[in-house]
Amino acid sequence: METPGEAAAGLAVQRIEPAYRQVATQLRRMIVDGTLAPGAQLPTEDKLGAQFGVSRNTIREALRMLSSQNLVRTRRGVSGGTFVAEPNTDALQENIVTSLQLLSGYNAIDDDELFQTRLILEVPSARSAALRRTDDDLARLRRAAVRVEHGRTVLDRTVSSQDFHQAVMDAAGNRLVSLLAPPVWDVFQRNSLASGRSTKRWAEIDQEHVEILDHIEARRADEAADAMRRHLEQLQSTD
């Protein structure tokens, strides 16, 4: 039979988070749910400390944590203070890239999973682009295709090729997919370069881009999707 002391020692308790994390969690929740709107100025550190019942140093640590997550920004000067950050897709994509690189570096994800993700994102997007594209979309795709063809270096061609793929994604009309795809490309490309994979088939890549563009222009949705799939599979198999 357990004594009262033994029973207490065996409690499944959860450790209480440090105060600054609790403050940051509450402020983050208010930012995410819209209680604190983008651009809103937070109270001073002293006032926040009084409201939360913590020290000024605790508030500073909480704000540093939120700043590192691009949720708040600090402005100096007479009209300065701490403000809720405006949504920024570039900052979000940078965070995703960093996280994917860490996962890739620790083998939590591999190149095949990155490739399969490209298929999941880009093949349906090519189909949707063929159905939804505008004349402006076609003009953008043509410009990107020409830049790939005329690129003087591998880097020029690679950047222009990503522009072409981004134009396909944007023509499909799904803003979330357009936001998520570039970080996947970035990590996939870095891994490809690190593995020593070369790109000796730029002429074929140029032709594949033209084929995808032709199907999108003609609104041949299934053919555009098939062409995109073949293109990605060829890129993956390039040595």
Q: Are residues 77 and 95 in the same domain?
A: no
Q: At which of 84, 117, 133 does a domain end? A: 84
In a domain, 156, yes or no: yes
Q: CB of 141 within 8 A of CB of 213?
A: yes
Helices (H), the chain: 4-9, 19-32, 45-52, 56-68, 89-105, 111-132, 135-150, 154-172, 175-194, 202-217, 221-237
Q: Give the pLDDT of residue 4.
A: 57
CATH number for the domain including 67?
A: 1.10.10.10
Residue with the bigger pLDDT between 202 and 19: it is 19
CA distance 239 to 234: 10
Q: Are residues 54 and 163 in the same domain?
A: no
Domain interval for residue 46 = 14-84
Q: At what angle do helices 175-194 and 89-105 cross, to 10 degrees?
A: 40
Q: Give the pLDDT of residue 48.
A: 96
**What's the structural domain count of the chain?**
2
Strands 81-84 and 72-75: antiparallel
Paired tokens of 152? 């003087």
In a domain, 7, yes or no: no
Q: Are residues 141 and 182 in the same domain?
A: yes
pLDDT per residue as tens digits for the range 183-228: 999 898 888 766 655 556 788 999 999 999 999 999 999 999 999 9
Q: Are residues 25 and 79 in the same domain?
A: yes
pLDDT over threshold 90, residue 87: no
pLDDT bracket for residue 2 (50, 70, 90): low
In a domain, 137, yes or no: yes
Q: Are residues 99 and 193 in the same domain?
A: yes
pLDDT per residue as tens digits for the range 43-66: 999 999 999 999 999 999 999 999
Gyration radius from the chain CA atoms: 25
pLDDT per residue as tens digits for the range 125-177: 999 999 999 999 999 999 999 998 888 787 788 888 999 999 999 999 999 99
In a domain, 6, yes or no: no
Q: Are residues 37 and 71 in the same domain?
A: yes
Which residue(s) pair with 82 in the sheet? 74
In a domain, 183, yes or no: yes
Q: Are residues 19 and 79 in the same domain?
A: yes
Q: Are residues 187 and 108 in the same domain?
A: yes
Q: Give the pLDDT of residue 11.
A: 76
* pTM, rounded to two decimals: 0.77
CA distance 129 to 82: 42
pLDDT over threshold 70, residue 100: yes
Residue with the bigger pLDDT between 120 and 201: it is 120
